[in-house]
Structure 1
Amino acid sequence: MRRQRKQFIRAVCSVATSTLGSRAIGITYPLLALSVTQSPMLVGWVTFALTVPGLLFYMPAGVLADRTDPRSIMLFTETVRGLAVLSVLGAIAIGQVTAAHIIVAAFVEGALWVTYSLAETALFSTLISPNSAPALLATAETGVHFAVLAGRPLGGLFFGLGQLWAFLLNAGIFALSSAFLSGEAHTRKPRRQRFRVLKEIGRGVRQLATGPLSADMVSGFRELCGHLFLRRAMLVTAVTNLAINTVIIIFMAESIGLSSILVGLVLAAGGIGGAIGSSLARLPSIQRLFKPESHTLYAQLWIWVLALFIATWGEPASYAIATVLTGCTGALVNVSIRTYEIRSVDRQKLARVVSVHRLMAHGAVCLAAPLGGLLAARLTAQQATAAVFWVTVAFAAVTSVAMVMSRLGMRRRAAQPGRALS
């Protein structure tokens, strides 16, 4: 038990460090593109290259994580991410960095981060018992949120030190993440098996290439659909992500004239809320309140409604309060959903189930950018935010009524002995 806890702590440190590096490099690559070419369009392409792998690779990566040793996947992805960063560092050093190189490196980073995050879920499922899941997952979630909060400012700080230093330090972060995983591996595997990582990855990739990939991805979707709570959670998560990220885009579009520090504080508020929520999720009283049940999803929806109502006031402070509320609630619900997944989902299909959920959530975030831009172009900031608010109110009302009716229907069926036996 003590060894397993040590392994979990190392895994959490790796995940937090990797998240820190991912957020930092997510700022460093676009800044490098702008510095090298002075082209805002290239910045857009680099950001797209970082984002689009989530739409392309979540489900295949889920299959890989279910078929292959997750720790081996995580070690491999961290190593390759570090090598990609070092390749850009080398190009900068000899003055040969190109737009194509930056875009390819950003795409590799996005694809490997998706793969790492799903392998992390599979690894945690082997280190966490169902009874300890809420507290331990809250610990992991807290580390991630603090890493997210620090990562973007750190990326800007690194770049301010100079391009070479920025990429050298980012490579060091990925090396540190790998070191945590390597230490975790050595507590349970002999040293002579250290180089089995490539063999494991090769076997998993060969299975992806030769096996029924589409059937495996569909099986993950079917497994998720077999869990009523996860179906509802996926829908609620997608809609709430779309709503708050659309409002953030509206705020950014209307932030001309505001100080950059104020804009940064508003954008950081969601991360602060997430750190608060994940810290609260470690308390037993909060765990009882946010159980993986439908009432938790009701709470998320209506807290989102309250947050969006506050955002309709149109002041920077109101947007900050809204994102703190949604960040805090989102972290609490994330722990609840992950607890359910650990306790109730077939471990052989866990990564595939999580990949479906994250694909929906990521798709909603991607959709928020053009939707928020469209609303900001057609309406004032207050009008656009109010439109998002009223749509969310309508969704929350319809969904809440549907959930209540479904629960009443299940109770009526359970009260009919003839049906129960049929």
Structure 2
Amino acid sequence: MAGLGRSFGYLWGSTGLSNLADGFVKVGAPLLAVSLTRSPTLVSLVAAAGTLPWLALALHAGALADRADRRRVMVAANVARAGVLAVAALLAVSGLMNLWVLVAAVLLAGACEVFADLTAQSVLPMTVAATDLTRANSRVSAAQLIGNDFLGAPVTGLLVAILPAAVLGAPALLYGAAALLLLGMRGAYRPAAPADGRRPPRQEIAEALRYLWGHRVLRGLAITAGLLNLANAAYFAVFVLWAVGDGSRVGLTPGQYGLMMTAFAAGAVLGSLLSERAAALFGETRTLLGSWLTVSLLLLVPVAVPSPVALYPTAVLWGLLGAGANVLVISTRQRLIPAALLGRVNSAYRLLGMGGMPVGALLGGVVAEAAGIATVLVGATALCLAAIPVAWRALFDQISGRLTSEPAFSDISRTR
């Protein structure tokens, strides 16, 4: 890609293809689940299966990213999840698809995703200069969102109605193509061994956990991200039941639900591309906290106004604000974490940030079964609002100069 190098172009292209595949799975799996059952608890199992591997494998994936050739890890992960979904598609064509086959396929593909995604975030600083990280991350984020939602969502909504097996078969082909593109990257992508030599993986993982917990900004952001993701996992695990079907409050068809995700993606792409400019205009801290606060409040809109007319513009704002905040957080982590620790500390951060998602998804299904879907949606919003002060306090302390050993968050873009 112009200005960022040829290797980044291959990485960027692979990211676009793999995230288009992610979009098929992300939107298609819940819609397939709804076609198999209307139980909130059972539908939430599919969402939980996609995120449970983060809880079990994140630390090990990070340790591997700091030891092995990162490009090869990504190639292997893409090939593996292509194989898993190809088998699931064949089972669907053979009439053997049921909820438990779907859960197993999503679970195994999710395990591969942990290794692919963590390694991708660790390989990017080896591909572009530190001064280009925010720009590169904004491009990567835009590619992820275009694939996940802008292209994947509407096509998936149609495929669920026309040819359900293709929802699993198409991403299998895309993951395979993404693996092939990565082979075009040139350069060395194996991290240098520490001067004092390698230690047992358990000790290296413990070192990363100590670093994360001892860093005020990273710790505050990780805790906030964990609470936000837990709440959003509960919210969106049952949101499809609130939005789709004859008995739902919003009354969307699967195709219209796909279009809603496209609206989300349109906003997200714009937010990714504008994040650097917004941070320069308002400051990174104000942009991040303001985005988190606003997007949390907007979660109440589908409850207060359960109408497609209100839902589509709300989805645009969800995407715009959420993606912009995500770019800032990822770039911040990549700058603050030492290169030798990047894979492991990144994985520890994402364990805290994403480990609660399967818990949230299952909790959302159980609470919806007992107390109704609206209770989950409102409760998740309240948890999001309660989480934001954790990050605000960490960033406030940093900007106030109480932590003189770490760069001020608002000045991170100028530290290298």
Q: What does residue 171 of structure 1 align with?
A: 172
Report SS of the residue matched to 2:66. Answer: helix
The higher-RCO structure (CA 8 Å, 6+ apart) is 2
In structure 1, the gaps of 5 or more residues are: 190-196, 201-209, 414-422
Cα shift at 1:62:
1.0
Q: Conserved in 1, the CA contact under 8 Å of 2:271 and 2:320?
A: yes
Q: Conserved in 2, the CA contact under 8 Å of 1:233 and 1:297?
A: no
Alignment partners' CA distance in 1, 2:382 and 2:165? 48
Matching of residue 213 in structure 1 with residue 179 in structure 2: no
Q: Conserved in 2, the CA contact under 8 Å of 1:310 and 1:321?
A: no
Cα 1:265–1:342, aligned 2, differ >3 Å: closer, same or farther? same
Cα shift at 1:162:
3.7
- Worse overlay, 373-382 or 107-116: 373-382
Aligned residues: 390
Q: Which of 299, 322, 335 in structure 1 is aligned with 2:327?
A: 335
Q: Conserved in 2, the CA contact under 8 Å of 1:158 and 1:169?
A: no
Give matches, 1:20-419, under 5 Å: 20-26=20-26, 48-89=48-89, 104-149=104-149, 150-158=151-159, 160=161, 162=163, 167-184=168-185, 187-188=186-187, 212-248=200-236, 251-255=239-243, 256-261=248-253, 263-266=257-260, 268-281=262-275, 285-289=277-281, 294-308=285-299, 310=301, 313-316=304-307, 317-318=309-310, 320-373=312-365, 376=368, 385-396=377-388, 400=392, 404=396, 408=400, 410=402
Cα 1:254–1:77, aligned 2, differ >3 Å: closer, same or farther? closer
Q: Which amino acid in structure 1 is aligned with residue 173 of structure 2? A: G
Q: Which amino acid in structure 2 is aligned with residue 154 of structure 1? A: V
Deviation by residue 1:62-107 (Cα, 9 ceiling, x = unmatched):
1111111111011111222222233345556777778876554433
TM-score, length of structure 2 as denominator length:
0.76
| Identity level (%) | 23
Q: Conserved in 2, the CA contact under 8 Å of 1:247 and 1:372?
A: yes
Cα 1:177–1:405, aligned 2, differ >3 Å: closer, same or farther? closer
Cα 1:17–1:291, aligned 2, differ >3 Å: closer, same or farther? farther
Report SS of the residue matched to 2:359. Answer: helix
Cα 1:319–1:396, aligned 2, differ >3 Å: closer, same or farther? farther
Alignment partners' CA distance in 2, 1:377 and 1:38? 13
Report SS of the residue matched to 2:304. Answer: coil
Alignment partners' CA distance in 1, 2:358 and 2:94? 36
- Worse overlay, 400-409 or 299-308: 400-409
- Worse overlay, 361-370 or 396-405: 396-405
Alignment partners' CA distance in 2, 1:168 and 1:250? 25
TM-score, length of structure 1 as denominator length:
0.75
Q: What does residue 193 of structure 1 align with?
A: none
Q: Which amino acid in structure 1 is aligned with residue 202 of structure 2? A: S
Q: Conserved in 2, the CA contact under 8 Å of 1:250 and 1:375?
A: no
Cα 1:14–1:396, aligned 2, differ >3 Å: closer, same or farther? closer
Q: What does residue 17 of structure 2 align with?
A: 17
Higher helix share: 1
- Worse overlay, 139-148 or 383-392: 383-392
Report SS of the residue matched to 2:130. Answer: coil
Cα 1:167–1:243, aligned 2, differ >3 Å: closer, same or farther? closer
Cα shift at 1:309:
5.7
Report SS of the residue matched to 1:230. Answer: helix
Cα shift at 1:182:
1.6
Alignment partners' CA distance in 1, 2:334 and 2:390? 29
Cα shift at 1:218:
2.0
Q: What does residue 416 of structure 1 align with?
A: none
Q: Conserved in 2, the CA contact under 8 Å of 1:24 and 1:153?
A: no
Deviation by residue 1:294-345 (Cα, 9 ceiling, x = unmatched):
4444323432454246556333355555443343222112211222223221
Alignment partners' CA distance in 1, 2:260 and 2:81? 30
Cα 1:24–1:264, aligned 2, differ >3 Å: closer, same or farther? closer
Report SS of the residue matched to 1:258. Answer: coil
Q: Conserved in 2, the CA contact under 8 Å of 1:236 and 1:301?
A: no
Alignment partners' CA distance in 1, 2:258 and 2:350? 26
Cα 1:390–1:182, aligned 2, differ >3 Å: closer, same or farther? closer
- Worse overlay, 303-312 or 123-132: 303-312
Deviation by residue 1:184-213 (Cα, 9 ceiling, x = unmatched):
2xx458xxxxxxx9xx9xxxxxxxxx9733
Structure having the higher Rg: 1
Alignment partners' CA distance in 2, 1:123 and 1:402? 28
In structure 2, the gaps of 5 or more residues are: 191-197, 406-416
Cα shift at 1:222:
2.0
Alignment partners' CA distance in 2, 1:274 and 1:32? 25
Alignment partners' CA distance in 2, 1:98 and 1:312? 31
Q: What does residue 206 of structure 1 align with?
A: none
- Worse overlay, 313-322 or 377-386: 377-386
Alignment partners' CA distance in 2, 1:34 and 1:122? 36
Q: What does residue 6 of structure 1 align with?
A: 6
Alignment partners' CA distance in 1, 2:375 and 2:165? 45
- Worse overlay, 245-254 or 120-129: 245-254
Cα shift at 1:141:
0.5
- Worse overlay, 75-84 or 21-30: 21-30
Alignment partners' CA distance in 2, 1:400 and 1:142? 26
